[in-house]
């Protein structure tokens, strides 16, 4: 395998690790919101932001995965 391809695969792996970490921290933030008693408007805004972030991270994760699969073929 070409050295450039190997480096690209390593880079994609690091991005995937970052996305997994971001999913974990977002989930932890959501749990802290449930446990804490803040007003409903703030909870709704933060929940919407968390959902938008989760969807965006998921889409990025799928793109990184497909790019890595293309590099491996």
Residue 42: domain span: 3-72
* Confidence at residue 27, expressed as pLDDT on a 0 to 100 scale: 67
Reported as a single tens digit per residue, the pLDDT across 20-63 is: 777 777 766 666 666 666 777 777 777 777 778 778 878 888 88
Q: How many domains does the structure of the chain reveal?
A: 1
H-type alpha helices, the chain = 3-35, 40-72
pLDDT of residue 36: 63
Per-residue confidence (pLDDT) for residue 59, from 0 to 100:
86
Cα separation values, 23 from 7, 18, 26, Å: 25, 9, 5
pLDDT at 29: 66
pTM tops 0.85: no
């Amino acid at each position: 395998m070409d050295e450039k391809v190997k480096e690209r695969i390593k880079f994609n792996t690091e991005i995937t690790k970052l996305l997994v970490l971001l999913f974990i921290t977002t989930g932890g933030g959501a749990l802290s919101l449930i446990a804490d008693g803040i007003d409903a408007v703030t909870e709704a805004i933060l929940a919407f932001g968390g959902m938008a972030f989760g969807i965006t991270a998921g889409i990025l994760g799928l793109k990184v995965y497909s790019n890595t699969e293309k590099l491996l073929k």
